[in-house]
Amino acid sequence: MAESDHPVFAVVGHPNQGKSSVVSTLVQDDHIAVSAVSGTTRVAHSYRLMLNGETLYELVDTPGFQRPRQILAWCMDRSEGAAQRPGALAAFVAQHRNEPRFADDCALLEPVLAGAGVVYVVDASQPFDATFEAELTLLSWTAQPRLALLNPMLDTTFESEWRAALQQYFSLVRTFNPLLAPFAQHLELLSAMAEIHPPWRGSLLRSVNALREQREACHQQAADILANYLESVLRFSIQLPVVGSRDQLRATGIAQYNRELQRREGELQSRLAKLYGHDALDWNSEWQPLRTEDITDARHWRVWGLSRRRLATLSAGTGAAAGFALDAATGGASLMVGALIGGTLGGLAGGLAGRDALSFELISRVPGYEEWRLGPVSSLDFAVALTGRALRSWYQVRQRNHARRDALALRPQDLSHWLDGLDAKQQVQLLFWLRKLLKRALTENESNQLRLLLVALGEQMDA
């Protein structure tokens, strides 16, 4: 079979070692069948990385070895020296291609014999034993560029044992957890693949650059979506014609307001998920109750925002900064009174903010045509909480690898003022923009600045 003009890598190994998980994560596709049940993959599947119509490299997901010892015995019987081994292996595949017993093994060996590089995946939480020797010997007989991946599916108990064994057969041995490895590690793995065969280096490094740029563009777009979302929810209001008492009216309005907020949040989550290529993401387990609760109820939303003390401190900081600007404008003649007053007022505003999440006011007093308006958001605390939820959704889709099939979970630390952990300067900037959004819609230029801040916050999520 003729070699391809682009690098091809076959992901091979024993059954149930996480081969499909590795492929799913690398090709960012959550449709690839991944399961804890062994032998899920029955035929080879190829995935090409395309850049403007050009193939940069190809990854082949293969079924696991089934009868490596029998294949090895067959080949040994028919080869007298090292030079004849690849030929013997090719002869085996040619002869047994249509035999159901060897279907999986042939599907695995075919791309390798056609010139693909080998990415051998093993579960580093299981012990190494002699059965794997046959697989490793067969792969070494293919004489193709090879790389081994240690996949710690449960733990890394046998990693050193595996590493010692694999280093005898592979020039490069890496640890890669397809479920948890951050995106930077995906690129590192591709870079490592570029090192095992110099002719493929250029194409693979171009892949790394293209994927990095694509990821950056993805983050930028996500920040745009978030800025747009924040503007839409923080400025959202509904008008309520007077029916019944004020309290009844408020209760009806809040229910309506909640539904709309939840709808918008759901829309945000699905847009972000789609952007990062998560088509089959399950938001319906731990996020579901959050969608049905009263978002405007402080008992529910306070956990998403900043702690009251932190909010007061940061607000004092933003107020003092504004006051300091006034002091500077007077050439210091104000004796820093501006900063003092600004800081005090900011701190008080931050500390006392959030008694009522939404504004509720009568906007038309014409008899018979009285109308109330619920919203927009009036409390900085609530605005921070809504932002916290939105950023949390972003974090989850951004960090999640495509090999994962479990539902999105919210860990306790997700709910305990996680915004507190962000860089203080960014917190102050975030509060500055949220305050602005509470007052008015942002101009195009301001939206861009908010987007840049969100991109920086996203980078902190990755750190």
Partner 1 sequence: MARASSERRFSLGLRWLQAQGDAGHISVRDWDSFLAAAAHMPEPSRLRLARLLPLLALINGPLALAALMLWPERSGLHLLLFLLVFVCLPLLVMAWTTFSVFALGRGPWWRVLVSGHDDGVIALWCARQALLSQGLFCISALVWLWLTLLTRQLIFYWSTSVTAVSERVAELFQVLSIGILEAPSPVLVQSAEAGAITGWQGAALAASPFWGGWLTAVLGLWVLLPWLALLVLCQWQLSRRIGRWPIYNQRLRLLFAQAREPDVHYRALQPEQPMVEPAAHDFPVVTSLAPEPGFRWRLVQDNAGGDVVLGVDDQHSDEVRVRTAASRLRRWYIPGHVVPTGDLADLLRLHCASGGEPELVILLSNGQDHVERLEALRHSWGVFLERNDLAVKVRLLVQGEPGG
Residues that bind partner 1 (CB under 8 A): 14-17, 27-29, 31-33, 35-52, 64-70, 72-73, 101-102, 104-105, 126-127, 129-131, 210-211, 213-214, 217, 221, 224-225, 227-228, 274, 443-445, 447-448, 451
Cα distance between residue 434 and residue 384, in whole Å: 7
- Check residue 236 and report its DSSP letter: -
Q: Which is nearer to partner 1, 28 or 427 (CB)?
A: 28
Q: Which is nearer to partner 1, 131 or 160 (CB)?
A: 131
* Residue 159 beta carbon to partner 1: minimum distance, rounded to whole angstroms: 15
* Residue 19 beta carbon to partner 1: minimum distance, rounded to whole angstroms: 12
Q: What are phi and psi of 150, to 5 degrees?
A: -95, 115
Task: Give the H/E segment covering residue 186.
Answer: helix 183-195
Q: Which is nearer to partner 1, 50 or 335 (CB)?
A: 50
Task: Answer yes or no: are the C-beta atoms of 408 and 192 closer than 8 Å.
Answer: no
Q: What are phi and psi of 293, to 5 degrees?
A: -80, 170
Q: Which is nearer to partner 1, 24 or 313 (CB)?
A: 24
Cα distance between residue 162 and residue 310, in whole Å: 49
Give the number of other CB atoms < 10 A from CB of residue 227.
24
Q: What are phi and psi of 60, to 5 degrees?
A: -115, 120
Q: Which is nearer to partner 1, 72 or 391 (CB)?
A: 72
Number of H helices, E strands in the chain: 17, 9
* Residue 4 beta carbon to partner 1: minimum distance, rounded to whole angstroms: 12
Task: Answer yes or no: are the C-beta atoms of 119 and 147 closer than 8 Å.
Answer: yes
* Residue 33 beta carbon to partner 1: minimum distance, rounded to whole angstroms: 5
* Residue 114 beta carbon to partner 1: minimum distance, rounded to whole angstroms: 14
Residue 326 CB contacts under 8 Å (≥ 6 apart), including other chains: 334, 338, 339, 342
Q: Which is nearer to partner 1, 247 or 406 (CB)?
A: 406
* Residue 415 beta carbon to partner 1: minimum distance, rounded to whole angstroms: 25
- Check residue 371 and report its DSSP letter: E
Strand segments, DSSP code E, in 14-90 are 45-51, 54-61
Nearest to 152 by CA among 175, 128, 185: 175
Q: Which is nearer to partner 1, 417 or 451 (CB)?
A: 451
* Residue 36 beta carbon to partner 1: minimum distance, rounded to whole angstroms: 4
Task: Answer yes or no: are the C-beta atoms of 422 and 460 closer than 8 Å.
Answer: yes
